[in-house]
Amino acid sequence: MNNNQTQNVKILNCDPSALGLFGLAMVTLVASSQKLGITEGTSFIIPWAIFLGGFAQLFACINDSKRQNTFGTTAFGAYALFWFGVAASWMIKAGVFGQSLQAGVDPKQLGFAFLGYLIFSVIMTIGAMETNKVLFIIFFLIDFLFIGLTLDSFGIGGEFPHTLAAYSEFVIAMCSFYGSAAAVLNPHFGREFLPVGKPFGIFKK
């Protein structure tokens, strides 16, 4: 007698946004120190860009994908690849990959990359409105970061774009630390220990 039985196994993954936001917080904190003039150069920003900005957010991206979270997958994945790209750009500028590539550096090409990410960030800001208010604030500040980076790369606006990018990046770091803490402590305590704010309810009921 054959008894064919089918079992459905459901694998549960924890929310990876805490680690992803921590990675974002760390890399923006370190990178903002250079933009604010507190530190110099990018040599010691590169490791944090690769491992925290890149790999930590990529980990969050992959695990959000397993949770069928399209928004989180896209956001963490796109910004992880951004930091990999920025780290590689800094290394090219420093001559790590040879003098030929170093001599061919054109800041305006990076400006177009920043412009592309500005467009992407505006789209994600709209999506973040229906997630929570902390995430919306982070994306809103990321918009200003990319506005500053884009204008600065194109040499538009004097010192203002650089200053705008510097302070936006620092506040992004602080808000991301808060978001990461909320993502860890709220489920850990089983209650809203750190409020993140309800969705705006404009586009999604």
Asked if 125 contacts 139 with a C-beta cutoff of 8 angstroms, the reply is yes
Give residues with Cβ within 8 angstroms of 158, minimum separation 6.
none
pLDDT at position 4 is 66
d(CA 140, CA 192): 23
- Give the burial class of 31: count Cβ atoms within 10 A of its Cβ; 0-12 exposed, 13-18 middle, 19 or more buried: buried
44-69 core/surface letters (b: 16 or more CB in 10 A; e: else)? ebbebbbebbbebbbbbbebbbeeeb
Task: Give the C-alpha separation, 99 to 141, whole Å.
Answer: 36
pLDDT by residue (tens digit) across 135-160? 999 999 999 999 999 999 999 999 99
- pLDDT tens digits for 15-74? 999 999 999 999 999 999 999 999 999 999 999 999 999 999 999 999 999 999 999 999
The H-assigned helical ranges of 54-98 are: 57-66, 70-93
Residue 65 · residue 87 · CB < 8 Å: no
Q: Quote the tokens at residue 78.
A: 């796109």
State the virtual CA torsion across 81, 86, 89, 95 in degrees, nearest 10.
Answer: -120
Query: Which pTM value belongs to this model?
Result: 0.92
